[in-house]
Structure 1
Amino acid sequence: MEHIKVGIIGMGRIGRLHLKNLSTKFHGVEVGAVMNPSQRGRDYAARYGVPNLSDNVDAMLDDPSIDVVLICSPSASHADYIIRAAERGKIIFCEKPIDMSLDRAKEVVAKIKEENAQMMVAFNRRFDPDFAKVQQAVSRGEIGTPLSLHIISRDPGPPSIDYLKESGGLFRDMAIHDFDMAQFIMGSKVNEVFATGGCLIDPEIGKIGDIDSSMVMLRFENGAIAVIEDSRKAVYGYDQRLEIFGTEGMLQIRNPYKTNVYRAYEKGTRSDVNLNFFMDRYEVSYMKEMEDFIDAIRHQRPLPIDGDQGIEAMVIAEAAYESLKANRPVKVEKFR
């Protein structure tokens, strides 16, 4: 497929990012339609010359010239849009999660297979050059047999309470990226989860039944273990680090800074501050994610991350919630 025509559902910050990238950095790709309920979102798309703007998704899905649909709408709407797009024969790119409910997500993936449709679930961190390089090094055996993994994920500040009410909670909304990354790096599925956490930052988050700080231990089928630390607030900026330890060595990913200037004085040393948030930290990964998606379509290869892999991260999140509630380790298999 030399020329690919794309429709985008949703013009929030992720939809806008994908629109900008596809419109300015890809040859042979045209964004032919955008569906967004607000005029503001449609006005943004108009600035990139999108010809068909609507608040009705069927206008896009019924357009036979649209080959690919990007689902960048709020999480609760994903499942419905996936099914409707699959029934119309569209190739689907969906931001995580497939749905807020694990059972519903499984139904959606089954429907994708029934329709013989193609869907990629977007876990953009897999495409970050640092994380990808570590995964490749581990798979080549550079550190021998992996023994333990530590992932730190801290946001510079919590989202609004209105967002958190609809997010599905810390494990489904934030830590799900780390659950996916843990299996991606380790090259093994998780078979047991032990989660603990609490509301240590903002009491308002606790009032809606969520937590803002957590530690989750994962045990993998290959015997290795991981510890994942998540926090909704780090005063020094966006904190994304990883370390994997093996029998023959260790690999580590550190935070990038706003600049690489390092200062040394008589009284000490100083580096620049951390990046602000995920849109800065993972700018390259979003571009590489879309490049690999488009390239797979053009060369008729399997899409990089399928629905089953999207389900697997959700399975770990559900096990984490049961573990948190029961205060004990939980086997993951019961959720698969």
Structure 2
Amino acid sequence: MKTRKVNIAVIGTGRMGSVHVANLIRNIPEANLVAICDIRLDVANQVAEDLGIERVVQDYHELLIDKEIEAVLIATSTNTHADIIIDCAKAGKHIFCEKPLALELDRIDEALSAVEKTSVKLQVGFNRRFDKSFQKVREIVHSGQIGRPSILRITNRDPELPNKEFLKVSGGMFLDMTIHDFDMARFQIGEVDEVYAIGNVMIDPELNSFGDIDTDIVTLKFSNGAIGAIDNSRQAVYGYDQRLEVFCLNGMAKADNEMENTVTTGNSSGFSASRLPFFFMQRYAPCYVEEVRQFIECVLDDLPTPTTGDDGRKAVVLGYAAWKSFHENRPVKISEIG
């Protein structure tokens, strides 16, 4: 039984950061949250007051000179990730960073280079890899019991459009939303050689003004010969639609939607089931705990992280390939991106 705890600080206490802060305090006993940081000091102070955190800072550099802090969790805006990773690596702090590492490949490469020059660990926040159903599908397929995988299908549909101001700086559909599916495709099947993306604005015409889309289908060709299809929508009125299937030569494995409960009601009108969870915070709540718990375990036991900087970079490369395919209306080899 482990008795030592990892002293960790959280940089960024907005929507995702506050979730991680609460999980570290309530659900991950191996971690000792010693400080939080946000440039919006009022936001950080409110989180600290709600959760009983004593130390709050506005400048993350104050945390980096604290020798008692072993690790940091970065949940700031995407455009700050690379700089903070580089500074944390130079300070010798282990790093958990929310996805994406950055929206520019050269900035990602700078950050990964800084990490590689040190002995610090880096984990990227692809939380869906830690979903028990998706993990079970991968376990079945990788065991070989249902033969060689040949077709992957992923459905990922949000219940409503995010805030427009967020969308304008998010990198767009393929780098914000579909990036989760690109990582899941690699997690389930392996490396991707080629993508072909089509999409349109079907929900809100305002997205046209800043070059984004809200509906897409992306087909994938994998290095092992398998093929895949991802479908995304920013608005599914019936709830948060999250499904995955791997079809193999001797069978298939799939993960269906998780409902709010398992109750089915029958009456003279027929049968009705429970609703889907409304959003990702509800659907993937256990995954946010497990991904950080495993990061802490890797720090304690000096293990490699389950989602690496390379995983983070490859997901962004697939996002760029999808945008290139969409704009040029053709299949794009991943080798064209770099």
Compute the TM-score of the two structures, normalised by the length of structure 1: 0.97
Residues 226-258 of structure 1, C-alpha deviations (whole Å, 9 max, x = no match)? 000011000011000111100010111111111
Q: What does residue 209 of structure 1 align with? A: 211
Q: What does residue 44 of structure 1 align with? A: 47
Q: What does residue 8 of structure 1 align with? A: 10
Q: What does residue 116 of structure 1 align with? A: 119
Q: What does residue 252 of structure 2 align with? A: 250
Preserved CA contact (<8 Å) 1:11 1:42: no
Q: What does residue 239 of structure 2 align with? A: 237
Preserved CA contact (<8 Å) 2:28 2:289: no
Aligned positions of 1:1-336 closer than 5 A: 2-38=4-40, 39-186=42-189, 188-336=190-338
Preserved CA contact (<8 Å) 2:44 2:56: no
RMSD: 1.2
Residues 159-207 of structure 1, C-alpha deviations (whole Å, 9 max, x = no match)? 1110101101000000000000011011x20000100001111001111
Preserved CA contact (<8 Å) 2:179 2:316: yes
Q: Distance in 2 between matches of 1:139 and 1:87?
A: 38
Q: Distance in 2 between matches of 1:271 and 1:220?
A: 36
Partner-residue secondary structure (3-state), 2:253: strand
Letter in 2 for 1:313: A
Q: Distance in 2 between matches of 1:121 and 1:210?
A: 25
Letter in 1 for 2:193: N
Shift of 1:25: 2.0
Q: Distance in 1 between matches of 2:181 and 2:293?
A: 22
Letter in 1 for 2:233: S
Q: Distance in 2 between matches of 1:177 and 1:248?
A: 28
Q: Distance in 2 between matches of 1:127 and 1:89?
A: 27
* Change in 2 beyond 3 A, CA 1:28/1:150: closer
Q: Distance in 2 between matches of 1:217 and 1:121?
A: 24
Shift of 1:267: 2.9
Compute the TM-score of the two structures, normalised by the length of structure 2: 0.97
Q: Distance in 1 between matches of 2:270 and 2:292?
A: 42
Any stretches of 5+ residues in structure 1 without a counterpart?
none
Shift of 1:313: 0.7
> Which deviates more from structure 2 when the two are superposed, residues 265-274 or residues 161-170?
265-274
Q: Distance in 1 between matches of 2:144 and 2:88?
A: 41
Letter in 1 for 2:298: A
Q: Distance in 2 between matches of 1:165 and 1:333?
A: 28
> Which deviates more from structure 2 when the two are superposed, residues 262-271 or residues 82-91?
262-271
Preserved CA contact (<8 Å) 2:82 2:110: no
Shift of 1:3: 2.0
Any stretches of 5+ residues in structure 2 without a counterpart?
none
Q: Distance in 2 between matches of 1:265 and 1:102?
A: 56
Preserved CA contact (<8 Å) 1:19 1:45: no
Letter in 1 for 2:128: R
Aligned-pair identity (%)? 40
Letter in 2 for 1:182: A
